[in-house]
Structures are given as C-alpha cells and as structure tokens.
Amino acid sequence: MDVRGALAVVTGASSGIGAATALRLHEAGARLVLHGRDPGRLAALAGRTGGATLTADFADPAAVPAAAEEITRRFGEVDILVNNAGIGWAGPFAEMTAADVRRIVEVNLLTPVELTRALLPSLRARPRSSVMFVTSIAGRTGVAGEAVYSGVKAGVDAFAESLRFELADSAVHVGVVVPGVVDTAFFTRRGRPYQRSSPRPVPADRVALAVLRSLREGRAEAYVPGWLRLPVAVRGLMPSLYRTLATRFGGS
C-alpha cells in the first residue's frame, strides 16, 4: 500500500508507539488523525505533523462510537486505521478490582473491535486500505502478573486473524505488529516499572517502522524484535517445555 496522501487514524498517539508511528506515517506522506487522552501532547504532535487531533478516553464506552462518528463526519473515508491505544496493569490477578478489569478490557479489546467495526464501511470503500493492530508478546505467550492484559491482547490477535479471513477477498489489509518490551512510559503507568535486565527494551520508533513496513508490504504480522518468534514457536511445538521454562524464568 502506498501511504502517500492516505488518511491514517492513529489511536493512542499522545506518546510512545502511537506518537512514533504518527511521525513515521507523516514522513511517508500520510495525512493524520491523532487520537489520545492528553490534549497538550496531541497539540504538540499535530504541530510537527499537521495532523488533526481527537481527544477521548476510550475507557468510557460512549467515547468510541462518538469518536468514529466524528472521524467520519470531519474527514470522510479512512484509508488506514492503526489500533494502538492501550493501557496496562501489573500485579497479582487477585488484587485487581472489578473496575481495573473492566478498564483493561474496554481499552485494549473492546475499543479496537468497536472502532474497526464502525470504520470498516469507510475502509471497504477505498481502493486500498489497511487495519493495523499493535498487540503484545504477552498475548502470544502469557505473562505472570499480567493475566487480564495478556488475555485481552490474545483476544485482539484472534480478532485480527478472523477479520483477515473474512476480508481476504476485499482490498482491506489486516496486519498485526507484536512488540516485546518497548522503551515507553507504559510500564510506569501500569503500576510497576520494568526491572529485568533482559530482554532490553527496544525504542518505540522500531515498532513504528514495523507498522510502516507492514502497511507498505502487506504483511500479516511482524514481531519486534524478530527473535520473539522463538518463544511463540516453542510454546506451539513443545508446550510442556515452554511452561516449565516460563514458570521458572517468566514474569513481568
């Protein structure tokens, strides 16, 4: 897909992977709709990219349909949707409140599903279009201390794969980028900073480049870094060995 001149909606663009992706898309010639919760950060990013801003907290169930309606009303047909917005929570599952669970599910799973559903008619009307999902290695392997987050990211993976099958005869590309540990404020905001010595966090721009390559080349999925395919393969081929190793060395 040629992204030059395409209208790209990027959720979670206030910082981290979303901001880096918006910058890469801008450099590639895309027009941008920047979603986030921080109006100041969005305004600064819009100043660098010329993008339009859309401030909304997707933990509010009413915010997603309202955002989709505003996007359609203000900008018409969408060429690219990057479902990146997400929040984390780290700690024992038994310590989560019902509100914690609902917020994780609402933002990380229901938001990309509902926003994709709402914008799909617009995407299907374009000669070429794409829906991208930024998921997580946690959804492919499971992570101790992130049971709900891992579960909803696995749900996004399954949704994206199923949607890809449904749209196989259409001009809509469905892609998934699976990052590992990324050097952003995500870990601080989830309530527990990243403290492991390995693997080392990768820059957010590395994930953004994977999103851009997936768009241009029509890739179904990409891991960042690429070696993350290995634990996923071990889990699929030798699940007992994987669980033994993950129990011994795993954690958030």
pLDDT digits (tens, 9 = 90+) for 209-225: 999 999 999 999 999 99
> Does residue 2 form part of some domain?
no
> Does residue 47 form part of some domain?
yes
Verdict on whether the full-model pTM lies above 0.85:
yes
> Does residue 1 form part of some domain?
no
> Does residue 134 form part of some domain?
yes
| Mean pLDDT score, 230-240 | 87
The count of structural domains within the chain is: 1
| Mean pLDDT score, 21-39 | 98
Q: Are 218 and 167 in contact (CB under 8 A)?
A: no
pLDDT at 251 over 60: no
pLDDT band at 192 (very low <50, low <70, confident <90, very high): low
Q: Which domain holds residue 243?
A: 7-249
Write down the mean pLDDT value for the chain: 92
Among 13-22, 77-86, 228-237, the minimum mean pLDDT is found in 228-237
Q: Are 145 and 18 in contact (CB under 8 A)?
A: no
pLDDT at 250: 60
pLDDT digits (tens, 9 = 90+) for 137-160: 999 998 889 999 999 999 999 999
> Does residue 28 form part of some domain?
yes
Q: For the chain, what percent of residues have pLDDT higher than 70? A: 92
Residue 172 neighbours by CB under 8 Å, 6+ apart = 120, 123, 124, 129, 130, 131
Q: Are 138 and 90 in contact (CB under 8 A)?
A: no
> Does residue 76 form part of some domain?
yes
The reply to whether 149 belongs to the active site is: yes
pLDDT at 195 over 80: no
CATH number at residue 184: 3.40.50.720
> Does residue 236 form part of some domain?
yes
pLDDT at 190 over 70: no
Among 35-44, 99-108, 186-195, 226-235, the minimum mean pLDDT is found in 186-195
pLDDT digits (tens, 9 = 90+) for 70-89: 999 999 889 999 999 999 98
pLDDT at 71: 97
pLDDT at 187: 60
pLDDT band at 133 (very low <50, low <70, confident <90, very high): very high
Catalytic residue chosen out of the listed positions 149, 194, 223, 242: 149
pLDDT at 191 over 90: no
pLDDT at 246: 75
